[in-house]
Structure 1
Amino acid sequence: MSGMTTAAPFGPLGFQLVLLHRMADHQPGLVEDARIALGASPADMREANRRWQAMVRAPRGRGALARYRSVLGEPEQVVRRRIGDLECDALLWRLPLWPDLRFEVLATDGGQVWNEWLVRAPGAAGPELRTAEDLTPWSCTVDEVAEAFAPARPMEGSAPTRWGLGFTLPGGEKCVAEFTWGLLQRVMVGRPWAALG
């Protein structure tokens, strides 16, 4: 991939670099290993992010759902889902970097995207989460932590594409977990449930 140019098609490889670019704030070592595994240079990652941001911000750009389809192709699976009063489609794409996960986009019938993140692949076993030591970076998703340590409190993330969860460990210690694109990045044990920073 080295030497990614604006003339080259922007596809799944470039999109994975976009996800990594945001994760680098908290997990630079994991990101570097993943970038090397993809055969991409730091310049490739910056260029992929630049191109993605240009697509997102284009005044006459395609909608979010059409953008994902153009970059990732047809989804591996589309599942009809009901969340509260809302019925939507969950579109799932496979990304080579995370074979046990899928990139999920939740879209209304009108094509409006209201959530986009990594989730566990259907049928794939997730990790057993019982203690703070089990919560290692990139090991689990928002839903898995929320279920393992229910009731968890959703929190606003420190930047776009980030989410937070406040929860209590079995021993009574309060924790704040931060996720990027739905994947766990860090856990702060003993931190009050306040805004992430």
Structure 2
Amino acid sequence: MTPSGSASSAAPFGPREFQLVLLRRMGDFQPGLVEEARRELDASITEMREANRRWQAMVRAPRGPGELSRYRRVLGEPESRARRTVGDLECEVLRWPVPLWPDLRFEVLAAPGGPAWNAWLVRAPGAPGPELRTAADLHPWGCTVDEVARAFPPARPLEGSAPTRWRLAFTLPDGAPRTAEFTWGLLQRLV
């Protein structure tokens, strides 16, 4: 921290700062949960804003590292790597632990040798997921996009309001249509 109370641009940007970036976007939907998580990270609102500013500068830098290099630089080497086929596309799957959510992993899907085309939070392998049967089971930060889609088929993806946001339309067992909103793959709210 500098004497003014803001993080220096020269300060390291690692997993803690990346978690602040995730929280910054989630604050639009769940400010109370973000406040608790920010306190757990012992970070100020100023630090969260500065982390987001620095992340956006890295993302937009014309000569900055590629997406996968950026994630590796910030998060270190992935905890796991695998190959997955999605439709006709074979992709590389990289996952990193996220201390704020120990049962989740930050997952990046990328074309082999190419750019990342999806990045979000998913359930960690072997971690028990929530039992989702009714709207009452859909708690903010309690489940991921793929968990909701599997629990209430057929779910239909909808365009999100920002690049890190997803929406999913589905029907509950009682016949009620619902839409869930996610940030970085984590449920924020039902609408």
Same fold (TM over 0.5): yes
Match among 161, 164, 171 for residue 164 of structure 2 = 161
Counterparts of residues 45-194 of structure 1 (less than 5 Å): 45-188=48-191
Per-residue deviation at 1:186? 0.2
Instruction: Say which SS state the counterpart of residue 118 (structure 1) adopts.
Output: strand
Give the distance between the partners of 1:5 and 1:95, measured in 2 at CA.
23
Give the distance between the partners of 1:114 and 1:80, measured in 2 at CA.
14
Compute the TM-score of the two structures, normalised by the length of structure 1: 0.93
Q: Which 10-residue stretch deviates more, 37-46 or 102-111?
A: 102-111
Per-residue deviation at 1:3? 4.2
Per-residue deviation at 1:111? 2.7
Q: Deviations over 1:69-109 (max 9, x none)?
A: 00000000001111111111110000100000000000111
User: AA paired with 1:38?
Assistant: L
Q: Deviations over 1:160-184 (max 9, x none)?
A: 2000000000011000000000000
User: AA paired with 1:108?
Assistant: A
Q: After TM superposition, what 4+ stretches of structure 1 lie above 6 angstroms from structure 2?
A: none
Give the distance between the partners of 1:145 and 1:104, measured in 2 at CA.
17
Instruction: Say which SS state the counterpart of residue 181 (structure 2) adopts.
Output: strand
Give the distance between the partners of 1:81 and 1:109, measured in 2 at CA.
10
Identity %: 72
Count of residue correspondences: 188
CA contact 2:20–2:38 (8 Å) conserved in 1: yes
In structure 2, the gaps of 5 or more residues are: none
Give the corresponding residue for 1:194. Answer: none
User: AA paired with 2:188?
Assistant: Q
CA contact 2:6–2:50 (8 Å) conserved in 1: no
Give the distance between the partners of 2:96 and 2:166, measured in 1 at CA.
20
Q: Deviations over 1:105-151 (max 9, x none)?
A: 00111231110000000011100000000000000000000000000
Give the distance between the partners of 2:80 and 2:112, measured in 1 at CA.
16
Per-residue deviation at 1:4? 2.2
- The reply on whether 1:11 has 2:18 as its aligned counterpart is no
Give the corresponding residue for 1:26. Answer: 29
